[in-house]
Structure 1
Amino acid sequence: MAELLRLAVGAAVGLPAPVLLVSFAASVPASLAAGAGVLLFAAALWACRKLAGVQRRAAAVPAPYAPLTGGPLARLRTVVRDPATWRDLLWLPCQFVAGVGGFVVAVALWLAAVQCVTAPALRALLPSPTGYDPAVLEWTGRSGPLTWILVPVGAGLTVVAVWLPRHLVRAQAALARALLAPTSAARLAARVDRLTTTRAAAVDASAAELRRIERDLHDGAQARLVLLAMHLGVASDVIDDDPAVAKALLAEARTGAGAALTELRGLVRGIHPPVLADRGLAAAVHALVLGSAVTVQLDLRLARRLAAPVEAAAYFATAEALGNAIRHSGAGEIRIALVDAGDAVHITVRDNGVGGADPSRGTGLLGIQRRLSAFDGTLHVTSPSGGPTVLEMSLPCEA
């Protein structure tokens, strides 16, 4: 019955095709001649897009349309120039034939099967011609033996009626994929646009990261090194006259040098942790959670070393997600899973906090999204109010 319902939907989608095609054909000359018929033309295109959208959703086909911007006339020009619009118009009569024809064939098969199986009963219930005899009685001339022969025929038709609709549905889906799916050129153009956007975001993120490193160096290690140089200079000036003061200054210089070295190590670790380069992603994530104030459960299924840029992106995305969960979620437990699926690394960070995380607010999730998108990765956030919050990240290994 599910297949019959889908065939009915396909028939309903294809049924308006003659009206829309006639409206479209009638509106074009009027539009070209005197500017009339533009509204009819736009309405026909809009209805065609809506019908194609229904079939795309049924066949799980992505929409290939160019984005619409500007006023009504600019949008109409974009629609007219979009090759997907004309593919929709080509699909419409094909769907009329496939949708309406498929539904009629499926229903006719069931009706014929029921009449054949019930032919002897119909002959017994209708012993004399009524003027409205079922087709099977007309075919058999109301002959008793022939009506019984139709019973196995009806059983065979029942099998066909059960088997055929699913293939008719698949045929309509194949038609939708052939005519309604994005072409190779459209997919390439969309990918280029997406990569252009993500490249700009990655450049902005890199510039912001460089500014942060510069600020940390200027305010931290550089200031300590300047103070260290001053202490050493003063100590060299007074070492002959007041050795005790010189020793105190040298001790302060040594303390400052140790603090500057610690800050530089922390800065280098933020740029690229040594453990990540030496021992890989699993060890780096394990080291990341050792000092966490919140209980963190790890599920690390990484049996190989990945490319260094991929490992770095996965590490920092995980670190940012963990930091966000600790700072903002109020969670008592965080679960992190990293799974190498062969073609991609799947990262899941789940906490039992208050929920309500939104990528459009704040910079933490946006930073993760920008970092992943630079490698053609994805981020999916599920965070209902009251929790839990689940971040699902995917990073292609061949990025």
Structure 2
Amino acid sequence: MTEPSRLRLTGYAAAQLLLGILALVLLVLTVIGGALLIVWVGALLLAVALPSTRAIAGWQRQMAADVLGVEVPRPYRPVPRRPLAALAAVARDPMTWRDLGWLLWASTLGWIISLLCVLEMLVAVWPLWWFTVRPKMEIRSQIDLWFLAPGRIESLERRVRVLTETRADAVDHAAAELRRLERDLHDGPQARLVALSMSLGLAEQAMGSDPVLAEKLIGEARRTASAAIGDLRSVVRGIHPPVLADRGLGGAVEALALDMALPVRIEVDLPGRPSAPVESAVYFAVAECLANLGKHSRATHATVDLRHDGERLRVIVADDGVGGADPSAGTGMLGIRRRLASFDGTMVVTSPPGGPTEILLEVPCDLSSPRTTPSSAPG
């Protein structure tokens, strides 16, 4: 992340002067609204003050994160749609009270720090401004994030919520997979094995009286056995494709690309292999993306870029199709999101109407053994 210039830092300080004035107004409105909450006027004031506070706190959170070169997630809990339930949820959110503390800081000492940064440049105290604007803004940003970034307890609570949700999704996904396997085995191999048993039984009965019929039935049984073996291989391939175990993620994705009706360029930069569960989850996620691409995108070309940045596995699936992909519509995209969430992974879809479409898949993981696939392959 590029370090912001001194002029940019001063611009942030100027913006914080305006935010400080707004912070003071919102602090007064919040205090008055809380005092008058027993009547409808108080609830109305809070309905204006609290969302506004979160908005300007979000702006300050972004500025502070840029000054310090860090990433700060949005820390608030989900808010229900119903007004009274929303007000109660906001009141119970610990970040609401941290925001109120930030309003007091931003409208007093924080505001003074930002004012000094701006005045030092405006009155041409250049040496002082040059050497002190950065440390002053860093101090201010650290204190801002002490209020506005989630604390340890809030982070743990958020982590517990995420784990609870992903565990439930993982359990549902596992149950769905078991039902699918049961259905596939019942409709495929089991039915063929029943037919095989019947053919062999009839052949056994006809062996003495009608050898020709017995030979015919044995031939049918052999063909049925071959078909059952094929069905079993298909079921096993749906659990963990052999190509994934043999060639790794890059090679398995290349094999997927070869089955596509349009050219797909594959770029792989993986100095090792992720764990088998992560590898399998990402493989099936890419497979679903390519399947959707082939069915809906009307694209003429696509790319899949796989690489590891030292902390996470990143996959970008892009195409030049018509766009308009909605990750909340249908079960395919939702299935990808649930599959990756089990490993703290994420999916981000960028697909404006008219295209192009880009799907970013990220999963935190380490790599182990040396790579087993070439660095790139043409589609």
2:143 aligned with 1:175, yes or no? yes
Secondary structure of 1:105's match? helix
- Preserved CA contact (<8 Å) 1:12 1:99: no
Within the candidate set 5, 8, 16, 1:10 is matched to: 16
CA distance in 1, matches of 2:153, 2:174: 31
Matching residue's letter, 1:280: G
Counterparts of 1:1-399 in structure 2, within 5 Å, are: 1-22=7-28, 37=42, 39-40=44-45, 44-60=49-65, 61-69=72-80, 71-110=82-121, 112-113=123-124, 157-398=125-366
Question: What residue is the counterpart of 1:134 in the other structure?
Answer: none
| 1:186/1:267 CA distance change after superposition, 3 Å | same
| Ranges in structure 1 where 5+ consecutive residues have no aligned partner | 114-156
CA distance in 2, matches of 1:291, 1:111: 64
Matching residue's letter, 1:218: H
- Preserved CA contact (<8 Å) 2:170 2:342: yes
Moved over 4 A (4+): 16-32, 34-47
Worse-matched range after superposition: 240-249 or 99-108: 99-108
Q: Give TM-score, length-normalised by structure 1.
A: 0.79
Between the two proteins, the alignment pairs up a number of residues equal to: 355
- Preserved CA contact (<8 Å) 1:344 1:394: yes
- Preserved CA contact (<8 Å) 2:345 2:362: yes
Q: Give TM-score, length-normalised by structure 2.
A: 0.83
**Residues 337-368 of structure 1, C-alpha deviation per residue, up to 9 Å, x if partnerless?**
22133322111222222222111111111111
- Preserved CA contact (<8 Å) 1:296 1:336: yes
Post-superposition shift, 1:291?
3.4
| 1:94/1:296 CA distance change after superposition, 3 Å | same
Identity of aligned residues (%): 47
**Residues 203-239 of structure 1, C-alpha deviation per residue, up to 9 Å, x if partnerless?**
2122122211111111112111111111111111112
Secondary structure of 2:354's match? coil
| 1:318/1:37 CA distance change after superposition, 3 Å | closer
| 1:256/1:107 CA distance change after superposition, 3 Å | closer
Secondary structure of 1:239's match? helix
CA distance in 2, matches of 1:285, 1:395: 16
| Ranges in structure 2 where 5+ consecutive residues have no aligned partner | 1-6, 66-71, 368-379
CA distance in 2, matches of 1:210, 1:161: 66
| 1:290/1:102 CA distance change after superposition, 3 Å | same
CA distance in 2, matches of 1:202, 1:8: 48
Secondary structure of 1:62's match? coil
Matching residue's letter, 1:343: E
CA distance in 1, matches of 2:270, 2:23: 54
| 1:358/1:215 CA distance change after superposition, 3 Å | same
Matching residue's letter, 1:57: Q
Worse-matched range after superposition: 336-345 or 372-381: 336-345
Report the aligned-residue RMSD: 2.7
Post-superposition shift, 1:288?
3.0
Matching residue's letter, 2:94: P
CA distance in 2, matches of 1:50, 1:17: 11
Worse-matched range after superposition: 161-170 or 224-233: 161-170
Question: What residue is the counterpart of 1:152 in the other structure?
Answer: none
Post-superposition shift, 1:14?
1.3
| 1:253/1:67 CA distance change after superposition, 3 Å | same
- Preserved CA contact (<8 Å) 1:294 1:332: yes
Secondary structure of 1:65's match? coil
CA distance in 2, matches of 1:370, 1:89: 35
Matching residue's letter, 1:64: P
Secondary structure of 2:178's match? helix
- Preserved CA contact (<8 Å) 1:7 1:165: no
Secondary structure of 1:15's match? helix
Matching residue's letter, 2:207: I
| 1:395/1:229 CA distance change after superposition, 3 Å | same
CA distance in 2, matches of 1:269, 1:209: 13
- Preserved CA contact (<8 Å) 2:94 2:154: no
CA distance in 1, matches of 2:23, 2:302: 55
Post-superposition shift, 1:21?
4.6
